[in-house]
Amino acid sequence: MLERLDLVRLAPRRILDAGSGPPQRALSRRYAGAQVIALDFAAEMLAAPGFGWFRKQPQPVCADLAALPFTADSIDLAWSSMVMHWIAEPLAALRELHRVLAPEGLLMFSTLGPDTLKELRAAAGESRVHAFIDMHDLGDMLVACGFSAPVMDMEVLTVAYRSPDALLEDLRRSGQTSARADRPRGLAGRHFAERLRGALGAAPRATFEVVYGHAWKSAPRAPEAAKAIRFQRRIS
């Protein structure tokens, strides 16, 4: 995502890092004159080590991405890395991001697609693995929210592990747990763990479908242009 910013002409005055993490430090370096707002639903993430490394510290804000505490047209660059798949209603979050973006502002995000952890899903069962939204559905949501020129693409990464326990430990340590509402709430038990390890195999692999998207908030049409469009529609 950072490399893609090299292709964009943008001089943001205010940047929103929606779902804050280490990338906001790189944003602070790239746009030294900009105000970076580090937003996260979890206050613990905003207190994590790493904040305060720069002379101009990011401003931490604890809030819900679907109910942003900012005025309309106040953000020039909205950045969201690996957050959308945790949101129950991504459409509501995208609407909020469109609202707070200034005209000609840019939204850039990454998330996980439906092929993510397909091996674990096959071994553990559908209801025990988090569900992920298809790239094309996210593109449709961007259009529905009023974004212009949306661009979606993806890449597939496959990670090999030395054992089933190494895979499961990696997921736990990276916070990649299931947040689906219909997930089983009780303890699975020793027999389930044994069956899961056997289904994964001695040297399991994990697929991650990484989805990237960006789109712009169009500048409002001049009144004369809007009138001309309505006139053309009436005579056609």
pLDDT-derived band at 54, boundaries 50, 70, 90 = very low
CATH number at residue 19: 3.40.50.150
* Structure tokens that stand for 21 in this block: 């993490």
Give the integer Cα–Cα distance in Å for 164 and 170.
10
For the segment 63-89, the average pLDDT, to the nearest whole number, is 94
Question: Does pLDDT of 201 surpass 80?
Answer: yes
What predicted TM-score, i.e. pTM, was given to this entire model?
Answer: 0.84
Domain count, the chain: 1
- The per-residue pLDDT for range 122-150, each reduced to its tens digit, is 999 988 898 899 999 999 999 999 999 99
Whole-number mean pLDDT of the chain?
Answer: 86
CB 46 within 8 A of CB 60: yes
Give the integer Cα–Cα distance in Å for 58 and 87.
23
Domain range for 111 is 3-235
- The per-residue pLDDT for range 83-127, each reduced to its tens digit, is 999 888 899 999 999 999 999 999 999 999 999 999 999 999 988
